Amino acid sequence: MRRKATALALAGTRRFSHDSAMPHLPWLPLAFAVSFPGALLAAPVDLTLAAGGGFDITYSLSTGQSTTGRDNLSGDILSDVKVNQAGQVDSFRLTGGRISHSDTNLALSIPPYYQVKVLTHSVATLPMTEGDGGQVDPATGLASNTGHHLISNEGTITTQYYAFTVMVKHDVRDLSTDPEDNALTGTTTLAATLVNSTGWWKRMKIDLSHQQDDSTTSPVDSQGVLPASTTSTLREKGSFTASGSGLFPGDDFIAWSTAHFGVQPEDLAATDPQTGQPLLVMYALRADPGAWPHVVQFLPTSGKLVLHLPSDGLQAPLKWEYWSGAAADSWIALPGTPAADGVTPAGAAGDTQVALPAGTHGFVRVSVSLPAP
């Protein structure tokens, strides 16, 4: 459940009109990350839980009775990951996702004729990090779980008390209105592995491993079934793993941005702080510091636009899109660009004329074409 983008879209657009001359095109699109020694590179990563993960549950009373069950986990964890120049994880923050828990039915028989049942149904948990949490020891991959929370905000937890076969209490906790916020405990480790790369991006696989053996004790509302001082203890012992990948800045882009702009962008959406321009698009177009030349020229009288590409070729592929302004978020590939999907490939050079779609006005935007994370 999450963001699966095929490219990073640019924030900036340009309106054109077939009837009038257009002023300078302001570029406000997307970007990449950079690095000096010690700088960190960041990317969002969607981690999918592997099958078979979960916790063995032991529910016990201070009066001596106990029962066991199993909480199987599935789903995904959304995160922001930072890696250092050695490719080691330096920071890991939970940003959302959804962890599903299997239904459980735990029953305790209490001589001579009492019974307690705890049932969970359709429980799901939201992973989040609060405050300044998220630190990871790069050398070992061991994460500090400070600030990490698992918030159960879907499903129900039901507690039932029986005397003989008669239910004397039935308590239902609706987690959607009364969520349960639990700090993440146990041992969490992370590792990053380079999968493949180009000059402008690198894909890194992120693997998470978590082990836990945690017990929580709380008083029991016995309703006369149990002694007034009775407590219950819930022990969760088990583990899970999760994996995903993220796109981080490529080495050539990092070197280019450092040499040309002296900037340390952290992720793919960074901009030049001096001009507000997207660094990755600037990289693709081989931009120099200072004022940009007119990269796109509108020819309203002929119904065309001209793409002024660098004479020595694009350093990354650019995707051109068009919107008529008639409906929200209706961007389509600009017809007439070199590829059917509106992508001008890396290495393309010189001027290219493109016929504008029919209509009196519209918008054009450009982004660097990237693979899915």
Domain spans of the chain, in order of start: 14-31+271-368, 41-249
| Domain range 14-31+271-368, its CATH number among 1.10.3470, 1.10.8, 2.60.120, 2.60.40 | 2.60.40
Q: How far apart are CA 44 and CA 66, in angstroms?
A: 42
Q: How far apart are CA 6 and CA 373, in angstroms?
A: 8
Does pLDDT of 1 surpass 70? no
pLDDT value, residue 33: 32
Closest CA to 249 of 5, 56, 84: 84
Amino acid code (one letter) for 192: A
On the CB side of 310, CA atoms within 13 Å amount to 19
Question: Worst-scoring range by mean pLDDT, 33-37, 189-193, 275-279, 356-360?
Answer: 33-37
Tell the residue number behind the tokens 């029991």, with chain if given.
220
Most confident of 225-239, 243-257, 266-280: 243-257
Between 210 and 299, residue with greater pLDDT: 210
Assess contact for 1 and 76: CB atoms under 8 A: yes
Assess contact for 69 and 123: CB atoms under 8 A: no
DSSP-based three-state secondary structure for 37: coil
Report the chain's mean pLDDT, rounded to a whole number: 84
Q: How far is CA 335 from CA 102, 322, 355, 356, in A?
A: 49, 9, 7, 8
pLDDT value, residue 337: 65
**Sign of dihedral through CA atoms 28, 31, 36, 42?**
positive
